[in-house]
Amino acid sequence: MKKIIFLALTGVLALTLSSGGVTREEIEKNPILKGKMLAKRCSWCHDINKTIVAPPFKVILKRYKDIPEETLKKQFFDAIKNGSKGKWHDWLEGHVQTRLGKGDVMYMPPQKPYYTDEEIKLIVNWLLTLKK
């Protein structure tokens, strides 16, 4: 039984950020899928692999690959809830062309107006599945 669930989950994660063909009930039953759906807002700026205007999630996870999962969960929770500024300054300068003046920093605005704490936790749990 465990194996079947695992396979089903892998299939789901192989999809892109689109919700094609997934019903609301399926999303409610699957916390990882729910986190992924909630993360759609993030795709204004982040993609999993591609650079839009923020570091791709895979690049973020790679930078922090040696940080224990529990620490990372807290760090990401805080970044999503309250925003983040400066940590990726050099990376952004090198990878994202902005029309901002020199010295200005692209930052991540707090996402707390859009999500509850519970929802942010679901997003973080989904995000960490991208590590594998």
Binding map of ligand HEC across residues 9-48, x = CB under 6 A, - = no contact: ------------------------------x-xx-xxx--
The whole-angstrom separation of Cα 132 and Cα 51 is: 20
Write down the least CB distance from residue 7 to ligand HEC, Å: 26
Distance CA 99, CA 58 (A): 25
Between CA 56 and CA 116 the distance in angstroms is 23
110 makes contact with ligand HEC (CB under 6 A): no
Closest by Cα among 113, 110, 122 to 73: 122
Q: What b-and-e string marks burial along 55-66, b requiring 16 or more CB atoms within 10 Å of the CB?
A: bbbebbbeeeee
Site string for ligand HEC, 41-80 (x = CB under 6 A): xx-xxx-------x-----x--------------xx--xx
Shortest distance in whole angstroms from residue 129 CB to ligand HEC: 13
Binding-site ranges for ligand HEC (CB under 6 A)? 39, 41-42, 44-46, 54, 60, 75-76, 79-80, 84-89, 106-109, 111, 123, 127
